Amino acid sequence: MNRQQLIRHIFEKRSYLCVGLDSDIEKLPVGLPRNAEGVLAFNKAIIDATRSYCVAYKINTAFYESLGAAGWSVLEQTAAYIGNEHFIIADAKRGDIGNTADQYAKAFFKALCFDAITVAPYMGADSVIPFLQHPGKWAIVLGLTSNPGAADFELQPCGDQLLYEKVMQRVASWGSPENLMFVVGATQAAVMASIRKSYPDHFFLVPGVGTQGGSLEEVSRNALSPEVGLLVNVSRAIIFASPNSDFAEKAAAEALRYQQQMAALLG
């Protein structure tokens, strides 16, 4: 899905909601088996319940890789079930270089047909550029993350900038707003306005709203652009809204609540 298609979907649905499929096998609702088949059934029910209210899904690959070959099959089947009407993100945080990065890009963009993949830029251009060489596909590069450990490196001084500022500035020169997004955590809302000022045209993938305590209103006030420019990810607050057999109904209600808030914030 290219940039214009994504923007069109956002305005048509009045939503910039991304539902995170962090499908923890230990948290599956009552009535579902705690195996790969149970995860797939859960994912399908969540997708059916939320697809009308979101524009994107983010599949955290760790929850599938941990199940071995069966988990990879569930990941592939889940992406296929979502279809091509939604933007599909592989939250894999790949960060290797050269031929290895190229193979990761082929795995997620060709074999698995994701629209985007999250990328860690620590090893420099070699770890990002291979993901920018596939037309219509996106690299979503870690910028300023929402976890407490962001203080260890990202928020440390690096010359006359903080490290995350230097990283984002350099990474932005490798791609364009057509194929490059940044992860900017919702718990970093205090600096989000300045980040948006530096990158007026880039999309931001924003985790941390919901269970992690980030404010949708604050994020939106500081970072919405004329073309929206946001994909706000909500995972546990939606998919685990209920531990019972009504989990899909509760997920739908929670996704609708976020969509309605987003529609109001869009004006």
Instruction: Map residue 237 onto helix, strand or coil.
Output: helix
pLDDT at 267 over 70: yes
**Is 27 annotated as catalytic?**
no
What does the pLDDT read at residue 90? 98
Q: Which structure tokens are listed for 203?
A: 């999309």
Of 27, 93, 110, 166, the catalytic one is 93
Instruction: Name which of 38-42, 48-52, 54-58, 210-214 the model is least confident about.
Output: 210-214
Predicted TM-score (pTM) of this structure: 0.95
The packing angle between helices 69-82 and 36-50, to 10°, is 20
What would the pLDDT profile of 157-211 be if each residue is shown by its tens digit?
A: 999 999 999 999 999 999 999 999 999 998 787 789 999 999 999 999 999 887 6
What would the pLDDT profile of 86-117 be if each residue is shown by its tens digit?
A: 999 999 999 999 899 999 999 999 999 899 99
Give bridge partners of residue 230 from the DSSP assignment: 204
pLDDT at 213 over 80: no
What does the pLDDT read at residue 208? 82
87-102 residues labelled b (16+ CB within 10 A) or e (exposed): bbbbbbbbbbeeeebb
Burial (CB count within 10 angstroms: exposed 0-12, middle 13-18, buried 19+), residue 120: middle
Average pLDDT (242-261) is 97
CA distance 258 to 129: 34
Tokens 């990879």 -> residue: 72
What does the pLDDT read at residue 183? 97
- Give me the residue spans of the domains in the chain: 3-266
How far from each other are the two terminal CA atoms of the chain, in whole angstroms? 25
Q: Which structure tokens are listed for 36?
A: 């790969």
Average pLDDT (66-91) is 97
91 to 114, 162, 214, 215, 265: CA distances (angstroms): 10, 25, 19, 22, 26
Would you say 122 and 93 are in contact if contact means Cβ atoms under 8 Å apart? no
Average pLDDT over the chain, rounded to whole?
95
Q: 148 — phi, psi (to 5°)? A: -55, -30
CB atoms inside a 10 Å sphere around CB 263: 14
113 vs 240, more confident: 240
Average pLDDT (235-257) is 97
What does the pLDDT read at residue 262? 97
Nearest to 61 by CA among 101, 6, 21, 88: 21
pLDDT at 63 over 80: yes
Average pLDDT (235-241) is 96
Q: Please tell me the class of the 3-266 domain.
A: alpha beta
What does the pLDDT read at residue 211? 65
